[in-house]
Amino acid sequence: MQLDVVDVVYRITLTNKKFYKRTMAAQRVSVLFLLGTVTTVSAFQITSVETKIGTINGKVENVTWFGETFKIHKYFGIPFAEPPVGELRFKKPVPKSSLNKPLDAFNHSHACHQVTIYKLGNVSTDEDCLYLNIYAPERQSENEKLAVMVWIYGGSFMHGFSDIYVADNLATYGNVIIVTFNYRISVWGFLSTGDEYAPGNYGLWDQHMAIKWVHDNIAVFGGDTERITVFGESAGSASVIFQTLYPGNKGLFQRAIAQSGSIGAFWSINKNNPQNAQHLGSLAKCDTRNNEALIACLRDVPAQKLEEFVSEFSYGLLTFPSPFAPYIDGEFINYDQEHAFDSDNTLPKDSQDIFAAIDLMTGVISKEGSVFVLPMFGVMDPEHFLPNRTFFEEELVPIFLNTLYGEPVPRSVRASTTVEYTKWSNPDNEYNIRDEFVSMWGDGTFVAGLFRTLNKHATLSSNLNNTYMYYFDEEPDFTGGFAPMTWFKKLGHGEDIPFLFGFLHSGVTKEEFNVIPSPWEETLSRDFIRLWTNFAKTGNPNLPDDMNINWVAYTKTSQHYLHLSRNMTSANVKQYWNQRRAKFWTSLVPELMKTTCISAASCQRSLTSALIFLFILLKTLMLY
């Protein structure tokens, strides 16, 4: 269902035979009418709409879920940009010109070329891949306007495509229009030479163009252009935040939902993009001394050859994070994305203004860090992972910190992290150490970004009721998802996706992700959809479908959040989740990273200062 961070690192790990030689079996986890006309053909009804690019024909189907039957109008494979091929490779997308004839939008189109470390089944990839899909519930009257939700998929900016997200249940039960679309990823979406010849971020520009197409055309499908929400998960979530900061999106959407990801995480950026472009050029035997010549040469390299270079470990470009990821291009991203949401950092005013005006809902899952129980992060045998204290302190913590920050990391940061992620009631217990390893990765990689995003938005916004936080913690009955360890029972990264989409998937990845929900999971899925679509309709997850929860908005002082779980009541609205460790990553570690160990003596002084600071911080947080 979801091809994302965990899938990437897991499969890269399997590819890297140097670190992992044992293949591990992963268990994956209507009067009724729209604007236009409806006719019937042999297999299904056809519905037609007139868009700004021409006539588009879709199909009408029945959807039955949770004891209710709905009609839905589907339009698949609508081009929103010209094919980014030839001279358009490594350039911004060009808007799609008018259609020469009506488009039969009955079937999905190509997925974009990507890192091929997993099987796509019968899905074809191509550079001609900038298409979108629309799921529009049938309306009760022509005058009814439906809220619109535009989904951005994840995949570590390395792989993924829109067609695996089947939105029948989400659209019909939530009574909203869902749009999914493809955007360029990996080398095709993010290669950069750091100058005008290849600035990068073409995938982010694709996202922007898809959002603009929706804003300009969705009304004829029954959509309300004043109620458009962008939402996504993991790299899609980081993409959502990038879009909320881009001034060119002003007026194109009003709300955003960011699930398990923000900007600034180590996997969401790659400052070495130009060096990686040089490496790719050398592999392709291009002239790397001149960037203009380099890009001209790379435009002529067959797509299949580029795919080979980024998909085979031996070429040195199959790494995590992606060697081609968002980059500061001075246009789409004209701020320090790594530190954009730090408390002492100032964003450009136009980015601040659009970000503050957008209603935001964001959150994480309880055990995001389970995705890093992998050989490349020091865990050679995930299934039997039970580290002792010495291995944790001397191997696992340094690998973690070097992954997040690169080298060198001050000794004070290493010492403080070891102190923080030790259960002092029983510090040598291997099960405790394993739990703390998972928490460390989750907090440092996802929770820190969550609170930076929340606090920045709540601080900038003049509306005290347009920032919402959630925390999803349950133990699912279904087996699957992305953490392949049998000992892992909680929710891991990406396992909110089945709940949000009503446990539907395309069948493309059925062998890897075949989830059959239990009754309580179906009920929670219904609640998920109601909350998410409430927010899309009103900017308030409590309305218009009142669930008697009274989810209170987040502020820096109150820090309310909703604990998503089965059988939710108003008691699920809580305060101050995981604050000690959030402060550790958003306050203490940034200060410690400013220190530099010049000598053993200075390192000792840094360590002493760090421990004193940590003690004061922990005492302060006892107030929460």
Question: What is the separation of C-alpha 519 from the centre of its chain, rounded to a whole number of angstroms?
Answer: 28
Distance (Å, rounded) from C-alpha 609 to C-alpha 592? Answer: 9
Backbone angles phi and psi of 219, in degrees to 5? -60, -35
Candidate list 192, 234, 311, 525, residue with the active-site label: 234
Burial of 272 (0-12, 13-18, 19+ CB in 10 A): middle
Distance (Å, rounded) from C-alpha 535 to C-alpha 541? Answer: 4
- For residue 154, give the nearest of 3, 263, 368 by alpha carbon: 3
228 close to 146: Cβ distance less than 8 angstroms: no
Burial of 141 (0-12, 13-18, 19+ CB in 10 A): exposed
Distance (Å, rounded) from C-alpha 252 to C-alpha 213? Answer: 9
Determine the length of the chain: 624
- Reply yes or no on whether 311 is catalytic: no
* 105, two tokens: 């939008």
SS (H, E, C) 242-297: HHHHCHHHCCCCCEEEEECCCCCCHHHCCCCHHHHHHHHHHHCCCCCCCHHHHHHH
Sign of the dihedral through C-alpha 445, 525, 134, 359: negative
Angle of the 235-245 helix axis to the 202-217 helix axis, nearest 10: 70
Distance (Å, rounded) from C-alpha 157 to C-alpha 235? Answer: 6
336: Cβ–Cβ under 8 A, 6 or more apart, which residues?
A: 328, 345
C-alpha separations of 14 from 118, 156, 160, 171, 319 in Å: 11, 17, 19, 37, 12
* Residues with active-site annotation: 234
